[in-house]
C-alpha cells in the first residue's frame, strides 16, 4: 500500500514539474521580447489584484490603478511585439502577451504569499492565511516596485 502511494506521489510530482517547466519555457519565450516596462506593469497589476480581486467596490482607487497597469501592460506589450519583424511573433501577439502575463502574475503572487522577492517557484509555506496580512504584503510589494511612478 505504501509503495503504491509513493509511486502516486512521485507521478504527481513529475507531472507538476513538467507543467512548471512548460509554463517556464513559454514565459521565457517572452523574455527579451517583452520590455521591462511592460513586465513591471503586469507585476504591479498582480500585486493590486491580490488585494482588489472580488472586492472592486471596496477598493475603487486601487481598482483604477490595477486596471491602468493592465491597460499599460497590454499597450506596451503589443508595441513591443509589433516592433518585431517575425510574422510568428506578430500573428500570435495577443496569445504570447496573455501567456507571459499569466506567468508573471503567478510568479508575483508566489513572491507575495511567501513574502519573498526571490521566490520563483510554488510557495510551499504561505506567510499567513489572513487576508489583511496578505493585503499588507501585496501593498508592500507594490510600493517596493515604485508602481505609482509607472502610472505618471
Instruction: Find the mean pLDDT for residues 91-108.
Output: 85
Evaluate whether 132 touches 37 at the Cβ level (below 8 Å).
no
- pLDDT digits 0-9 by tens, 5-24: 444 555 444 444 444 444 44
> For residue 69, is pLDDT > 90?
yes
CA 13 → CA 10, 19, 50, 106, distances in Å? 5, 10, 27, 19
pLDDT in tens, 125-136: 788 888 899 999
Name the band, by pLDDT with cuts 50, 70 and 90, for residue 68: very high
Q: How far is CA 59 from the centre of its chain?
A: 20
pTM of the model: 0.70
Alpha-carbon radius of gyration of the chain: 18
| pLDDT > 70 in the chain, percent | 73
| Other C-beta atoms lying within 10 Å of the C-beta of residue 11 | 10
Amino acid at each position: 500500500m505504501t509503495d503504491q502511494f509513493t509511486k502516486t506521489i512521485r507521478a504527481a510530482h513529475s507531472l507538476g514539474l513538467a507543467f512548471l517547466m512548460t509554463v517556464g519555457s513559454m514565459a521565457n519565450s517572452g523574455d527579451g521580447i517583452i520590455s521591462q516596462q511592460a513586465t513591471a506593469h503586469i507585476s504591479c497589476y498582480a500585486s493590486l489584484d491580490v488585494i482588489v480581486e472580488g472586492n472592486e467596490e471596496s477598493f475603487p482607487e486601487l481598482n483604477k490603478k490595477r486596471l491602468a497597469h493592465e491597460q499599460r501592460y497590454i499597450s506596451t506589450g503589443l508595441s513591443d511585439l509589433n516592433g518585431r519583424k517575425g510574422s510568428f511573433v506578430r500573428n500570435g501577439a495577443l496569445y504570447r502577451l496573455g501567456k507571459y502575463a499569466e506567468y508573471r502574475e503567478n510568479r508575483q503572487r508566489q513572491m507575495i504569499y511567501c513574502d519573498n522577492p526571490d521566490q520563483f517557484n510554488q510557495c510551499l509555506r504561505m506567510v499567513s492565511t489572513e487576508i489583511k496580512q496578505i493585503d499588507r504584503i501585496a501593498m508592500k510589494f507594490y510600493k517596493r516596485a515604485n508602481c505609482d511612478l509607472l502610472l505618471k
